[in-house]
Each structure stands twice: as C-alpha cells, then as structure tokens.
Amino acid sequence: MPANGLKILVKEAILRCGHDGKVENVPSQEWVRIGGSPVLVEPDPQGRDISMCPNVGLNIKPCNKTLPVLRGYSEFVRIGGKPVCLDTVEGYTDGTPPGAVKYTVRRPGQTFTGAAS
C-alpha cells in the first residue's frame, strides 16, 4: 500500500452528495476486480444518478446527477488506458445552490488495494 494510504474505488464504494444522497456506481469495465468487485475508472463517477437527496423545497433542486470529477484519479495506475478512481474522488452535483454541493467518497468499497495519486 502506498505511503499516503489512498484506496482504489470499486463498485461497492459509497459516494454521497453533500446532503447525504446516495450516488449509484456503475462501472464501465468489468475485467479488473478487487475482492470480486469491478474497479471504478475514469469517468465512472460522472453522470451517475443520486437517490434520496433530502435537499427538497420551494426553489430548491435536490441532487439528481453527479457532474465531472474535479480530483481523485490516479496519475499512475490505469486500466485500459483509463486512470483508476481513488478514495479522494470529488466533484459537484446538479443540486442547488449550483456549484456549491459536492459528492465525495465515504468508503472505498474495499480495504485491500491502494494506489498513488
């Protein structure tokens, strides 16, 4: 495991919006797995559905989709030419206020394998 302790994300990873809505992980590759679960690669966290966002009200839009990843891809480890996702993945959601609500990793979904950022 690398010194900085970054973990690689797999399908079972838990990503949440800033209001605690749940991001649905859909891996774009299936051939590389950790503990039987597909590894997430670029752009897997982007454009995913968010369910159960409680940010609802008059003129308030709940988080429904993830926007592009701002950071959290490995610069060194790739699968099929695409960088793997690390437990530092974060980006904005489409919820209100625009450009203020981020999605982040709560748990990487596995504890066996790490990578350098």
CA atoms of 50 and 52, how far apart (whole Å): 7
DSSP assignments along 64-110, one per residue = -BEEEEEEEEEEEEEETTEEEEEEEEEEEESPSSTTT-EEEEEE-S-
Say if residue 2's pLDDT is above 50: no
Say if residue 79's pLDDT is above 90: yes
Q: Hey, what are 57's tokens?
A: 């009200």
**Residue 97: per-residue pLDDT:** 87
Among 8, 19, 40, 27, CA closest to 117: 8
For the segment 36-43, the average pLDDT, to the nearest whole number, is 98
Cis peptide before 43 (omega within 30 of 0): yes
For the segment 52-70, the average pLDDT, to the nearest whole number, is 95
CA atoms of 15 and 7, how far apart (whole Å): 14
Give the chain's end-to-end CA distance (angstroms, integer). Answer: 12
For the segment 6-30, the average pLDDT, to the nearest whole number, is 98
Any idea where the domains of the chain sit in the sequence?
Answer: 14-107
- Tell me which amino acid residue 111 is: T
**Residue 4: per-residue pLDDT:** 53
Say if residue 3's pLDDT is above 90: no
